[in-house]
Amino acid sequence: MAAEESPEMLTYRPATLPEGVAPEPSARGAVYSLCSRIFTDPDDDLYTLLADGAVTEECRDLLDQTTLSVDPPDLTVSEDHETLSARFNDLFVIGYSEVVDKTDGTMNNRGPPVSLYESDYRSEISWNEVNVDLARAYEFFGCEVDSEIRRNHDHLKLELEFMSYLCRREAAVDPGVAAARIDFHDRHLRVFADGLANAVADEPGTGLFGRAADFLDRFSKADIEELATRGVDAPTARDGGGSTNE
C-alpha cells in the first residue's frame, strides 16, 4: 500500500508527533499497523520482538493512548522461530490436494485452512465486486497497491494498512475522514475481521495467530462502535462492495 508510509511498529510515541496531530486516532492507526505486521510470516526482526515481549508491551501502550476499552492481547511467543513460521504457513498459506476419483485422477484442491482474503468471507457478493470497491476506495484517497507484491486488493495486510492510513489522516489533516472509516468498516474490514476470527477459532493450536485474530475482531468492533457514538454519518454507498449489518 503506497501513500504515506505506515508507521513502523515500536516507533509510535505521542511526544514525537508533529504539532497539531491528534494522538488518539494516531494510536488507533498504529494498532492497525501493528496488526498488519503480525499477520505475516515472521522475519527475524519481527520474531525477536514477539519473543521478547516487545510487541505485547507496545500493543498495551498503544491501547492506553486510545479511548477504547479493549483488553490487550498476549502477543508474546514461546515457540522457536521455525515452529512459528511453520504454523503461519499451515494456517494461511498451504492448501492441499486429494484424489477423489482414482479412475480418472479427479483432484479436490483446497486453499489454506484460513484465508487472508476478504472475498472468501463474502458469499453474498463476488470477488470482483469486493476488489473493485476496494480499488476505488484506495484510489480515492491516493493509495495504490504495490505492483511488485502480488496481492489482491482484499488481502488483510492491505486493508489494515489502509485503515491505519485513514486513522492517521483523521489525526493529521482531516477529522471528517471518520465518516470514511465507518464506511470502510461497514463495507469491508468488520466482516473480514469477524470471519477471520471465526475461521481461526475453528483450527487447533493457533497460538499467536488465534490471539491476534481475536484481538483484531475485538478492537475493530470497539473502533466502529465508538465512531457510531459520535453521530458520524457514513458516506453515501458506492456501487458494489456490499456492507455488513452488525
* pLDDT one-digit tens code per residue, 20-36: 788 999 999 999 999 99
The answer to pTM > 0.75 is yes
**Lowest pLDDT segment from 16-20, 113-117, 239-243:** 239-243
Nearest residue to 47 (alpha-carbon basis) of 37, 62, 32: 37
The full set of domain ranges for the chain reads 14-229
pLDDT band at 17 (very low <50, low <70, confident <90, very high): low
Cell of 9: 511498529
pLDDT of residue 14: 52
* pLDDT one-digit tens code per residue, 194-224: 999 999 999 999 999 999 999 999 999 999 9
Length of the chain: 246
pLDDT of residue 100: 39
Q: Which residue has the cell 499451515?
A: 90
CATH class in words for 14-229: mainly alpha
pLDDT of residue 18: 65
Contacts from 168-174 at CB under 8 Å and sequence distance 24+?
168/4, 168/7, 168/25, 168/26, 168/29, 169/141, 170/22, 170/25, 171/17, 171/21, 171/22, 171/23, 171/24, 171/25, 171/26, 171/29, 172/18, 172/20, 172/21, 172/22, 172/26
pLDDT of residue 173: 79
Q: Which residue has the cell 489502509?
A: 162
* pLDDT one-digit tens code per residue, 132-152: 999 999 999 998 887 666 678
pLDDT of residue 244: 37
Task: Look at residue 68 and tell me whether its pLDDT is greater than 90.
Answer: yes
Q: Are 29 and 7 in contact (CB under 8 A)?
A: yes
Average pLDDT, rounded, for the chain: 84
